[in-house]
């Protein structure tokens, strides 16, 4: 709990609550997920697992997180620390193990601490004034120290330990993922993905990671005179064009940038006017 004589942690915590629509767990969860995924760079590298990052890339997750959080909060870069909130300089600190490193220039300042837990399956967020009494005495060779038990007690918790939002590819059945990723071409990998997971919402970012392309992997699934029927009897549903069909078939509506493969025979079972209304005149 923060000291009652220091208004900074409470003012910043209140501001963050308001500017995350009273849902800081959702906001910061998306920040952590986006920061990791952008460094993984799945569309170019095919990576989905944090542990596949190089050591220097893991360090860069912290820099990426600062940028993503600041942008999401609608703030401009501050001149002294990472953020300026209600007149208080705030430094953002990331640690994959919640063992935050505090540099000399942040001593005495507010630090917004975002940290991983339980082998990067959970995260937490807190705000603390990094006064001397809140820091351990030891220094590393860069002059950085860590937050002491007293500092952790003084930390105002903004997000308690919460699961990090999943990466779809990382959460796939390992056998299915192996079969999908070993296909030799973009077309075959994307086709295999949808054929292996019919009737399941699949986010665009997962499709791009499987495809290993920064372009439009969905074009690989459009039937034409050259490709024929690339999905072998399945049709791709999207939130933008096909939620009427998805709901009519009894499946939950797709979110933005989600896609689902449904057997064409299921769509044919719907009344023709309903199919035509949704643009599926099969």
What does the pLDDT read at residue 279? Answer: 62
Residues 70 and 205 in one domain: no
3-state secondary structure 116-177: EECCCCEEEEEEEECCHHHECCCCCCCCCEEECHHHHHHCEEEEEEEECCCCHHHHCCHHHH
Domain stops at, among 163, 192, 211: 163
Identify whether 98 is part of a domain.
yes
- Chain segment 262-280, per-residue pLDDT in tens: 998 898 888 887 777 656 6
CATH number at residue 148: 3.40.600.10
Query: Which domain covers residue 264, as residue numbers?
Result: 168-277
Identify whether 257 is part of a domain.
yes
CA–CA dist 84, 69 (Å, integer): 13
Residues 149 and 172 in one domain: no
| φ, ψ at 254 (rounded to 5°) | -80, 145
Residues 172 and 153 in one domain: no
Residues 135 and 176 in one domain: no
CA–CA dist 195, 236 (Å, integer): 11
From the centroid of its chain, how far is CA 191?
25
CA–CA dist 31, 36 (Å, integer): 9
Identify whether 207 is part of a domain.
yes
- The predicted model scores a pTM of 0.86
Residues 181 and 233 in one domain: yes
Domain count, the chain: 2
- Chain segment 58-106, per-residue pLDDT in tens: 999 999 999 999 999 999 888 889 999 999 999 999 999 999 999 999 9
Whether 73 and 66 have beta carbons less than 8 Å apart is answered as: no
- Chain segment 135-193, per-residue pLDDT in tens: 998 777 777 999 999 999 999 999 999 999 999 999 999 999 999 999 999 889 999 99
Residues 205 and 266 in one domain: yes
Domain stops at, among 163, 196, 228: 163
Domain stops at, among 163, 187, 211: 163
Residues 151 and 180 in one domain: no
Residues 26 and 125 in one domain: yes
């Amino acid at each position: 709990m923060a000291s009652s004589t220091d208004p900074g942690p409470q003012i910043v915590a209140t501001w963050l609550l308001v500017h995350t629509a009273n849902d800081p767990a959702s906001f910061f969860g998306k920040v952590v997920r986006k920061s990791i995924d952008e460094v993984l760079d799945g569309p170019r590298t095919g990576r989905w697992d944090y542990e596949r990052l190089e050591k220097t890339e893991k360090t860069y997750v912290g820099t990426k997180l600062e940028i993503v959080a600041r942008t999401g909060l609608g703030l401009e870069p501050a001149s002294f620390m990472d953020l300026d909130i209600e007149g208080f300089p705030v430094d953002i600190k990331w640690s994959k193990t919640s063992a935050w490193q505090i540099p000399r220039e942040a001593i005495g300042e507010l630090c917004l601490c975002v940290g991983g837990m339980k082998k990067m399956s959970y995260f937490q967020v807190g705000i603390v004034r990094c006064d001397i009494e809140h820091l351990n005495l030891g220094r590393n060779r860069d002059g950085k120290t860590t937050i002491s038990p007293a500092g952790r007690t003084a930390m105002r918790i903004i997000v308690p330990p919460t699961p990090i939002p999943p990466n779809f590819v990382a959460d796939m059945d390992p056998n299915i993922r192996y079969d999908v990723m070993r296909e030799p071409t973009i077309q075959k990998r994307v086709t295999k993905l949808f054929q292996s997971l019919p009737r399941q919402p699949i986010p665009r970012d997962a499709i791009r990671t499987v495809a290993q392309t920064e372009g439009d992997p969905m074009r690989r699934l459009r039937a034409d005179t050259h490709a024929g029927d690339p999905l072998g009897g399945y049709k791709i549903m999207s939130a933008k064009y096909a939620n009427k069909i998805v709901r009519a078939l009894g499946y939950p509506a797709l979110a933005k940038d989600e896609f689902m493969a449904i057997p064409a025979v299921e769509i044919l079972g719907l009344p023709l006017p309903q199919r035509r209304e949704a643009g599926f005149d099969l």
